[in-house]
């Protein structure tokens, strides 16, 4: 199987479906009284976080622990020569300690790629978010959630053929958007990005997606099956990407009125943590259409599947 998960685009359709299918098995484990498998006993998984992200870290931590791996959380602040410990020194240290897998979160786009293509470290590498580039396990858990909502217990083996997904918000800076674009394309879904022009790339010509400025028009004309709201980061607020939070919420935020326009069976996603009242209001966030908590639960199953795929060397059928 694969040794690295750096980009959602690294996965073939077969590999992606296989991981999602393994995650189905892991979800069953997570429903048991004793939520534990012995699969990765004796393996060491390091959560190497150069950026604070409690949610992602505990999700990976729980995933590794449920597979009986030993887990180390390594929080490093900053990077580069000027700012303390370098990525290289950290990686070499972990290698010397015998890490079997490194789950890396880093503020620099491409940090996971650099780690994988250096000879600093031999273990498996999972990109848990690199700058504004990618967050492939988020895309996998999102795809898993979509599949589960649509196909329920008959999800195994399914792709997302023909599914229309509208991803709304700060697309320019979103690693969630980039990874979802690639994986959704691979799985046959149709991606629509909705954002103010300032939060779309200046040149999206390599992207297989339709771009829209108006959320209301997109909801009305495209009738998406899935609407995924992106988090607006605090640092965008005062950098003239949009005039004010109020205006953003009015034009691009999801709210009770827009919820009514969703077609039957359509649902609403958010990678969390949510800015309630900004990109999503409380009514929508807590509505039956919202998958927010399912995404959190599925995140553990999917990350178990990823660690299993990278570290066990066994096939899906064995789960």
Partner 1 sequence: MYNSFVLKNVLLGDGPATDIQIEGDKIVAIGADLSGAETIDCTGLVALPGFVDLHTHLREPGFEQSETVLTGTQSAAMGGFTAVHAMANTSPVADTAGVVEQVAALGREAGYADVYPIGAVTVGLEGKQLAELGAMANSKAQVRVFSDDGKCVHDPVLMRRALEYVKAFGGVVAQHAQEPRLTEGAQMNEGAVSAELGLTGWPAVAEESIIARDVLLAEHVGSRVHICHLSTAGSVEIIRWAKARGIQVTAEVTPHHLLLTDELVRSYDAVYKVNPPLRTAADVVALREALVDGTIDIIATDHAPHPIEAKDCEWSAAAFGMLGLETAASIAQDVLIDSGKSTWARLAEVLSVNPAKIGSDAEQGQGLLVGAFANIALIDPKVKRKVVAESASKSINSPYVGLELPGRVVHTVYRGYFTVRDGALAKVGRA
* Interacting residues with partner 1 (CB under 8 A): 79-81, 83, 86-88, 106-111, 113-114, 117-118, 130-134, 173, 175, 178, 201-207
Closest contact distance (angstroms) between CB of 280 and partner 1 is 23
Closest contact distance (angstroms) between CB of 269 and partner 1 is 20
Q: Which is nearer to partner 1, 79 or 290 (CB)?
A: 79
Q: Quick one: DSSP state of residue 35?
A: -
Alpha-carbon gap, residue 155 to 164, rounded angstroms: 18
Spell out where 178-221 has E strands. Answer: 190-194, 210-212
What six digits make up the tokens of 278? 């900004």
Across the strands, what pairs with 254?
280
Across the strands, what pairs with 130?
106, 134
Is residue 306 within 8 Å of 140, Cβ to Cβ?
yes
Is residue 229 within 8 Å of 169, Cβ to Cβ?
yes
Q: Radius of gyration (Cα) for the chain, nearest Å?
A: 19
Closest contact distance (angstroms) between CB of 176 and partner 1 is 11
Q: Which is nearer to partner 1, 110 or 277 (CB)?
A: 110
Closest contact distance (angstroms) between CB of 78 and partner 1 is 9
Q: Which is nearer to partner 1, 5 or 266 (CB)?
A: 5
Spell out where the chain has E strands. Answer: 4-5, 44-49, 70-75, 101-106, 124-130, 164-168, 190-194, 210-212, 226-229, 267-269
Q: Which is nearer to partner 1, 134 or 279 (CB)?
A: 134
Q: Which is nearer to partner 1, 73 or 109 (CB)?
A: 109
Alpha-carbon gap, residue 159 to 13, rounded angstroms: 8
Q: Residue holding tokens 């250096």? A: 118
Closest contact distance (angstroms) between CB of 184 and partner 1 is 15
Closest contact distance (angstroms) between CB of 111 and partner 1 is 4
Count Cβ atoms below 10 Å from residue 19 Cβ, excluding itself.
25
Q: Which is nearer to partner 1, 83 or 221 (CB)?
A: 83
């Amino acid at each position: 199987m694969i040794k690295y998960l750096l980009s959602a685009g690294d996965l073939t359709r077969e590999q992606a479906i296989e991981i999602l299918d393994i995650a189905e098995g892991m979800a069953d484990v997570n429903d048991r009284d004793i939520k534990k498998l012995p699969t990765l006993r004796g393996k060491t998984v390091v959560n190497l976080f150069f950026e604070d992200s409690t949610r992602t870290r505990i999700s990976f931590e729980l995933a590794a622990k449920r597979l009986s791996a030993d887990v180390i959380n390594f929080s490093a602040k900053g990077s580069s020569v000027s700012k303390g410990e370098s990525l290289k020194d950290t990686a070499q240290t972990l290698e010397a300690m015998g890490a079997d897998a490194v789950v890396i979160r880093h503020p620099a786009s491409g940090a996971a790629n650099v780690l994988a293509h250096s000879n600093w470290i031999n273990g498996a590498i999972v990109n848990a978010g690199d700058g504004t580039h990618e967050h492939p396990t988020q895309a996998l858990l999102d795809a898993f959630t979509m599949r589960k909502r649509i196909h329920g217990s008959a999800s195994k083996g399914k792709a997302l053929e023909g599914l229309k997904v509208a991803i709304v918000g700060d697309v320019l800076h979103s690693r969630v958007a980039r990874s979802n674009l690639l994986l959704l394309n691979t799985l046959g879904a149709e991606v629509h990005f909705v954002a103010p022009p300032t939060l779309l790339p200046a040149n999206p010509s390599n992207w297989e997606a339709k771009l829209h400025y108006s959320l209301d028009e997109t909801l009305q004309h495209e009738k998406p099956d899935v609407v995924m709201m992106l988090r607006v980061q605090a640092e965008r607020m005062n950098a003239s990407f949009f005039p004010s939070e109020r205006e953003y919420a009015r034009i691009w935020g999801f709210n009770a009125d827009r919820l009514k326009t969703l077609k039957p069976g359509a649902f609403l996603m958010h990678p969390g943590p949510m800015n309630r009242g900004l990109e999503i209001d409380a009514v929508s966030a807590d509505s039956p259409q919202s998958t927010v908590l399912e995404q959190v639960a599925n995140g553990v199953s999917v990350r178990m599947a990823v660690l299993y795929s990278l570290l066990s060397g066994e096939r899906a059928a064995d789960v």
